[in-house]
Amino acid sequence: MHGVVGGIVIVGGSLLLTLLVIVLVRRLISHQTLARHNDVAGFVYATMGVTYAVVLAFVVIAVWENYAATREVADREASAVGALYRLANGFPAPQRGTAQEALLAYAEAVVDEEWPAMADQKAPSLRTSAALDELYAVYAQPELVAAVNPEQYGESLRLLDEVSADRRGRVLASNSGLPDIMWLVLVGGGVLVVGFAFLFGVESAYSQAAIMGALTVTISLLLFVAADAQHPFRGGFVVEPEGLESVLEQFGHTAAPAATPTS
């Protein structure tokens, strides 16, 4: 809902401002005067519009790919935790319970604390870091190393390293975003593209309002999508901890909702 409201404010505000400027320009300058330069302005505007469209499309695609890649990292982390839990079924009784409890403790810490922390750009979570350290300590116990099949133990270590690497990638992605200079280019370019269109003379005020309104809505919508999707853990495009929640539920534990950190 927060993302929807933000989109309405950005798009609606841009459209309203455009319509107000149309009224002002048509009162100050007649459309006949502007129409004399339509041919020359058209060549310049075509170059400007194509250049901005390419840059804006590239940014939107890059932001979406970052969102998709972050979602993939989160799913891969959950898959590795689930695989580790199943591999631990082959451990001797004391080590099996210790390893599986440590895995579930890590998953719960991620869902309960680290996901809300990522939404607030406060990750990593100390509790999750401690749970991961404890997980490594469990798998480094001499009793477990001696009792487990070497191939099974090697695969477990590989999956454990994958969990650690994916967690690091997830935390780094929570602080990702377009640099300020890029937003300056995008917003400034959008203003120039829309502003330049006011230099064209259109006889009908309604036709000009429809043309300019469509242009403004298109640009503002794409800018809103880029702004909302640049942070994968907040806004309208949110990567949820569905994978880890599924692991916890599958193995008999229910996690707290990701948006409600425990006290």
Q: What is the pLDDT of residue 106?
A: 93
**pLDDT tens, position by position, 95-134:** 888 899 999 999 999 999 999 989 888 878 889 999 999 9
Considering only residues 149 and 258, tell me which one the structure prediction assigns the higher pLDDT: 149
**pLDDT tens, position by position, 53-100:** 999 999 999 999 999 999 999 999 999 999 999 999 888 888 888 899
Cα angle for residues 15, 224, 42 (degrees, 5° grid): 55
Q: Does the pLDDT at position 257 exceed 80?
A: no
Kindly indicate whether the domain formed by 69-176+239-263 is annotated with CATH number 1.10.3720. Answer: no
Q: What is the pLDDT of residue 168?
A: 93
* DSSP string over 56-120: HHHHHHHHHHHHHHHHHHHHHHHHHHHHHHHHGGGS-HHHHHHHHHHHHHHHHHIIIIIHHHHHT
Q: What is the pLDDT of residue 161?
A: 94
Taking the C-alpha atoms of residue 25 and residue 6, their distance in angstroms, rounded to an integer, is 28
Across the range 196-203, mean pLDDT stands at: 86
The ranges assigned to domains in the chain are 1-36+201-221, 69-176+239-263
pTM for the model stands at 0.79
Q: What is the pLDDT of residue 43?
A: 85
Mean pLDDT of the chain, nearest integer: 87
Q: Does the pLDDT at position 26 exceed 50?
A: yes
Please name which of 57, 4, 21 lies closest in space to residue 191, comparing C-alpha atoms: 21
